[in-house]
């Protein structure tokens, strides 16, 4: 038996070496348990098994499709095929534009719904492991949301039936299997789900071949072209990053275009990598939409940040360019998103925050069409703080970081076990504040004190673990299921040298379901909890963090 003091001493010894010294992880784990800190998913990770939902005879679907998940070997690199997990869809009923496949890709077919359609999706698990699918961005009832409690075993089928109430926008469908979401997404279980509506159609934006999805991911391959997904502690801490950037499932991606306007539907499908997107020739990035659909007016930026789970709708006008000309979509250099000791730890990979190309655009056809970017894109309901149920008392989402536990509101994921303030009234509009609750995993919520101050009380141990010895602060893309939210304000207090490399890249004018929260930053959002009661997750969309338990749920009652 290791005594508390002995293990604590060992822990401190290791931490002074930084996480590079984490080969003796069991000691660290024990030390942390001894200090009352939660280990990753050893406890409280029990998920019930719910009998899979069946088709209801009273639901008259406008669109019905089968969605299979199964292993498949895909030719990605030269040489051996890569063993992946893949979604494939088959249309049973509905318009044939509902499904578009991406050529030579492991990514799922692009699913396209119209607002107002009633859809039925039969999810068939053809894997050798359990899985469940979540419609990231869609506002659906709890039983249709792909909460991990609805997972299905190999061979089982889960039927989803819902009406598409979302406005036009690009959403994501991806696995949400408990504890292995990151791994299953990394092996391929993700796809784009686009909603169209009349407001968008009236704008006559570039469509068909002029609307290009760009799903950006990073992966690491071994010498036999098989995927590497490390479970090393350091890659869990900072998130796993790859040595190749893939767009729509292809490495070294390029697109041939005509010299005219395009609509690029960009999604960060990486498990943890954050991008700073810019055109290499200095053309500004014209953003017309984000996670929750079109902005009211376009925003013109020199670069845009894109964190895991976030989407961007970009207007890219190549008119006036000569046949044979090229440009590159890049990720530019930036700092401050990783803990200081985390930089450069994933050897051999493309460092997060370094400069590298994402894909090349080649103008192969000169045309003389001109398309005008609409200056008024859409209208949507905006809330004021005074519309919220808690104008003086924002609901907290406190981020805390420690080597083996990434927590929200001081607690790891625990099924159907909401903290008092995580119970939210259905129909209410809530002000939420997301911030770094310094003091790492030792921080304890004082539940009696509720969240009067918007701040949490800290347990005694906190500072030494997280704040003092190691600066584990990093950026977290926080995602909330259900309806999209507005970003009301960001405030940053700290050394701005790193922050200055990203601060102009946030698009806060649109409706969002993921928001990147930088170290030392506080972000206020307003989110409606309308229509549906039940358990709705909120979590870090750094999927390694999510799988470590950086996930909680709101109980909408």
Instruction: Tell me if 352 sits within 8 A of 273, measured CB to CB.
Output: yes
Q: Does 120 bind ligand C2O (CB under 6 A)?
A: no
**Inter-helix orientation angle 4-16/25-34, to 10°:** 130
Looking at 29-37, 331-339, 460-468, 533-541, which segment touches ligand C2O (CB under 6 A)?
Answer: 533-541
Q: Does 490 bind Cu ion (CB under 5 A)?
A: no
Binding partner of residue 330 among ligand C2O, Cu ion, none, CB under 5 to 8 Å per kind? none
Instruction: Tell me if 215 sits within 8 A of 107, measured CB to CB.
Output: yes
Binding partner of residue 539 among Cu ion, ligand C2O, none, CB under 5 to 8 Å per kind? ligand C2O
Q: Site map for ligand C2O, 258-297, x if CB under 6 A?
A: ----------------------------------------
Residue 193 phi/psi, 5-degree rounding, is: -130, 110
Could you tell me how many helices (H) and strands (E) the chain has, helices first? 8, 33
Q: Site map for Cu ion, 446-485, x if CB under 5 A?
A: ------------------------------x----x----
Among 481, 524, 545, 552, binds ligand C2O (CB under 6 A): 481
Among 311, 479, 490, 545, binds ligand C2O (CB under 6 A): 479
Smallest separation, CB 538 to Cu ion (Å): 9
Q: Does 537 bind ligand C2O (CB under 6 A)?
A: yes
Stretch 119-158 residues interacting with Cu ion (CB under 5 A)? 136
Q: Does 136 bind ligand C2O (CB under 6 A)?
A: yes
| Strand intervals (E) in 281-389 | 285-290, 293-301, 304-306, 311-317, 326-331, 356-365
Instruction: Tell me if 552 sits within 8 A of 538, measured CB to CB.
Output: yes
Smallest separation, CB 174 to ligand C2O (Å): 6
Binding partner of residue 542 among ligand C2O, Cu ion, none, CB under 5 to 8 Å per kind? Cu ion
Q: Does 174 bind ligand C2O (CB under 6 A)?
A: yes
Residue nearest to ligand C2O (CB): 136
Q: Does 396 bind ligand C2O (CB under 6 A)?
A: no
Smallest separation, CB 120 to ligand C2O (Å): 22
DSSP labels, 104-149: T-SSPPEEEEETT-EEEEEEEE-SSS-B-EEEET----GGGTT-GG
Binding partner of residue 176 among ligand C2O, Cu ion, none, CB under 5 to 8 Å per kind? ligand C2O
Q: Dihedral sign for Cα 332, 438, 526, 171, please.
A: positive
Largest CA distance in the chain: 77
Q: Does 542 bind Cu ion (CB under 5 A)?
A: yes
Q: Does 476 bind ligand C2O (CB under 6 A)?
A: no
DSSP labels, 469-534: S------EEEEE-SS-EEEEEEEE-S-HHHHTTTGGG---SSEESEEEE-TTEEEEEEEEE-S--E
Looking at 172-180, 232-240, 327-335, 519-527, which segment touches ligand C2O (CB under 6 A)?
Answer: 172-180
Q: Does 321 bind ligand C2O (CB under 6 A)?
A: no
Q: Does 176 bind ligand C2O (CB under 6 A)?
A: yes
Q: Does 539 bind ligand C2O (CB under 6 A)?
A: yes
Smallest separation, CB 404 to Cu ion (Å): 14
Q: Does 541 bind Cu ion (CB under 5 A)?
A: no
Instruction: Tell me if 264 sits within 8 A of 314, measured CB to CB.
Output: yes
Rounded Cα distance, 516 and 523, in Å: 9
The set of long-range contacts for 340-346, using a CB threshold of 8 Å and a minimum separation of 24, is 340/471, 341/18, 341/19, 341/20, 341/470, 341/471, 342/19, 342/234, 342/237, 342/238, 342/474, 345/19, 345/20, 345/234, 345/238, 346/230, 346/234, 346/235, 346/238, 346/240, 346/241
Smallest separation, CB 537 to ligand C2O (Å): 5
DSSP labels, 42-58: SSS-----PPPP---TT
Q: Does 238 bind Cu ion (CB under 5 A)?
A: no
Sort strands 133-136 and 157-163 into parallel, antiparallel or unpaired.
Answer: unpaired
Q: Which is nearer to Cu ion, 112 or 176 (CB)?
A: 176
Looking at 169-177, 268-276, 293-301, 331-339, which segment touches ligand C2O (CB under 6 A)?
Answer: 169-177
Tell me which residues touch ligand C2O (CB under 6 A). 134, 136, 172, 174, 176, 309, 479, 481, 537, 539, 541
Chain residues in the site for Cu ion (CB under 5 A): 136, 476, 481, 540, 542, 545
């Amino acid at each position: 038996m290791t005594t508390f003091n002995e293990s604590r001493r060992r822990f401190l010894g290791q931490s002074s070496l930084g996480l590079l010294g984490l080969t003796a992880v069991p000691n660290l784990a024990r030390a942390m348990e001894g200090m009352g800190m939660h280990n990753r998913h050893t406890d409280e990770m029990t998920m019930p098994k719910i009998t899979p939902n069946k088709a209801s005879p009273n639901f008259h679907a406008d669109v019905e499709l089968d969605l299979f998940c199964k292993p498949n070997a895909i030719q990605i690199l030269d040489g051996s095929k890569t063993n992946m997990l893949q979604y494939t869809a088959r249309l049973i009923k509905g318009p044939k534009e509902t499904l578009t496949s991406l050529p030579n890709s492991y990514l799922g077919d692009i699913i396209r719904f119209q607002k107002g359609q009633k859809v039925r999706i039969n999810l068939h698990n053809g894997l050798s492991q359990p899985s469940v699918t979540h419609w990231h961005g869609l506002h659906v009832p709890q039983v249709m949301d792909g909460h991990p409690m609805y997972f299905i075993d190999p061979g089982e089928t889960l039927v989803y039936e819902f009406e598409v109430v979302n406005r036009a926008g690009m959403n994501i469908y991806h696995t949400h299997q408990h504890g292995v979401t990151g791994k299953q997404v990394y092996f391929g279980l993700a796809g784009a789900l686009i909603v169209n509506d009349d407001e968008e159609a009236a704008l006559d934006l570039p469509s068909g071949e002029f609307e290009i999805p760009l799903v950006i991911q990073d992966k690491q391959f071994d010498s036999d072209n098989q995927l590497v997904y490390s479970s090393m502690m350091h890659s869990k801490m900072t998130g796993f990053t790859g040595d190749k950037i893939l767009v729509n499932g292809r490495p070294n991606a390029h697109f041939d275009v005509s010299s005219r306007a395009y609509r690029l539907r960009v999604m960060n499908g990486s498990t943890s990598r954050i991008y700073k997107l810019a055109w290499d020739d200095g053309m500004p990035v014209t953003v017309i939409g984000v996670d929750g659909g079109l902005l009211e007016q376009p925003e013109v930026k020199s670069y845009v940040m894109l964190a895991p789970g976030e989407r961007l709708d970009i207007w890219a006008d190549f008119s006036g360019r000569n046949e044979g000309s090229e440009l590159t979509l890049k990720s530019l250099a930036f700092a401050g998103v990783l803990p200081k000791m985390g930089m450069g730890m994933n050897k051999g990979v493309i460092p997060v925050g370094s400069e590298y190309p994402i894909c090349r655009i080649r103008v192969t056809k000169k045309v003389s069409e001109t398309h005008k970017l609409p200056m008024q894109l859409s209208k949507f309901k905006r809330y004021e703080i005074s519309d919220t149920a808690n104008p003086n008392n924002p609901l907290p989402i406190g981020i805390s970081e420690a080597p083996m536990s990434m927590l929200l509101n001081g607690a790891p994921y625990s099924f159907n076990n909401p903290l008092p303030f995580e119970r939210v009234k259905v129909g209410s509009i809530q002000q939420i504040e997301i911030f770094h609750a310094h003091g790492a995993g030792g921080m304890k919520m004082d539940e009696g004190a509720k969240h009067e101050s918007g701040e949490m009380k800290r347990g005694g141990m906190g500072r030494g673990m997280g704040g003092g010895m190691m600066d584990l602060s990093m950026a977290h893309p926080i995602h909330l299921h259900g309806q999209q939210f507005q970003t009301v304000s960001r405030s940053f207090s700290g050394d701005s040298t790193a922050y200055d490399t990203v601060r102009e890249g946030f698009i806060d004018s649109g409706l969002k379901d993921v928001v990147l929260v930088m170290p030392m930053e506080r972000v206020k959002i307003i989110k409606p909890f309308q229509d549906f009661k039940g358990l709705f997750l909120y979590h870090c969309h750094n999927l390694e963090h999510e799988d470590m338990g950086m996930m909680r749920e709101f109980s909408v009652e």
